[in-house]
Amino acid sequence: MTRPAATIRGACLCGGVRFEVARAVGPFELCHCSRCRKASGSAFVAGLGVRADDYRLLAGAELIRRFELPRVERPPPYRTSFCSRCGSPVPDPEADAEWFELPAGLLEDDPGLEPDRHIFVELRAPWFGITDDLPQLTKQQLIALRSGRES
């Protein structure tokens, strides 16, 4: 089967859940919050922004299991979806979402974007030092950025 050259493919570790995205639009954010660290079992989650219209699940819908943590502050609750066979986090956009983030480690092709920033840096793991020169935003700075105010 041929595919457009720009299509970005991705899959979970066992290959049961497979998807493709026509393009990645970003932002591409590295989240250091404690929930993302636990959910991913890594120093930070690499969340790549894609448009829902550009995303296509190719296989494995029946394998996807969803977990929601009780919400801490305001909706939406923290949600993570994973392959029930291998445990990999997998994309799982809400039905009405126009845009969502997927775990970039699942990608088999270069998304063509570089990470934009580190976020929730005040919550980063004590054993992890950020050594690159990307912007480092706290939760408050991120909220300001997303609300359009100067950060």
Residues contributing to the site for other proteins (CB under 8 A) = 11-14, 28, 30, 35, 37-46, 65, 67, 69, 80-90, 102-107, 110-111, 113-115, 125-129, 131-134
Cβ closest to other proteins, residue 61 vs residue 140: 61
7 contacts 21 by C-beta, under 8 angstroms:
yes
What's the min distance (Å) between Cβ of 58 and other proteins?
15
Minimum separation from the CB atom of position 29 to other proteins (A): 12
The amino acid occupying position 95 is: A
CB of 63 to other proteins, least distance (A): 11
Q: What are phi and psi of 92, to 5 degrees?
A: -160, 70
Q: Is the dihedral of CA 1, 23, 32, 94 positive or negative?
A: negative
